[in-house]
Amino acid sequence: MPAFRLSQMHFCFIVPRNFRLLDELEQGEKGISDGLCSYGLEKPDDIMMERWTGTIFGPSRTTHDNRIYTLKMYCGPNYPSEPPEVSFVSRINMAGVDPETGAVSNDIEVLKNWKPSSRLHTLLKGLRTEMGKGANARLTQPPEGTTFY
């Protein structure tokens, strides 16, 4: 009889969507981050934990410096296997963001490379990184305080 070694086994645990979102909610409420991005439920009574708001502090030494951006995120029934739908509430001029609606394209790196292990904080940090890259860092921005809706 061949020997069975535990090191040869690979386990994959799938955490139920709501458990995952509860964990993310707890992290968002405790502010477990670098302080440059934050997030939470749009409405505290959203028992399906679908609609979230996020905040990104613009990267320094860019046209986003000293700006605070607000976003909406929708975590559908297949989250985290599929990325959330994201849109900026605050007006922003940035590649990959629809200039009429603020919707963020799935072609943006952080969404294109989304994995089930990615988190809402990962998304916000990725968007902040995109703000500071290349032309995005230098694009003229709409007046501060203007919104898409």
Question: What pLDDT shows up at residue 54?
Answer: 95
Q: How far is 115 from 122, CA to CA, in rounded Å?
A: 10
Q: What pLDDT score does 30 carry?
A: 80
Task: Tell me the whole-structure pTM to 2 decimals.
Answer: 0.87
- pLDDT greater than 50 at residue 15: yes
**Section 30-56 average pLDDT:** 89
pLDDT band for position 29 (50/70/90)? confident
C-alpha dihedral over 126, 77, 102, 97, to 10 degrees?
Answer: 40
pLDDT at 125: 95
Digit-coded pLDDT (tens) for 48-101: 999 999 999 999 999 999 999 999 999 999 999 999 999 999 999 999 999 999
Distance separating alpha carbons of residues 94 and 102, to the nearest angstrom? 10
Q: Find residue 51's DSSP bridge partners.
A: 74
The chain-wide mean pLDDT, for the chain, equals: 90
| pLDDT band, residue 33 (cuts 50/70/90) | low
Q: What is the CA radius of gyration of the chain?
A: 18
Task: Note the pLDDT tens digit of each residue in 105-128.
Answer: 999 999 999 999 999 999 999 999
pLDDT of residue 35: 83
pLDDT at 149: 82
- Grade residue 1 by pLDDT with cuts at 50, 70 and 90: very low
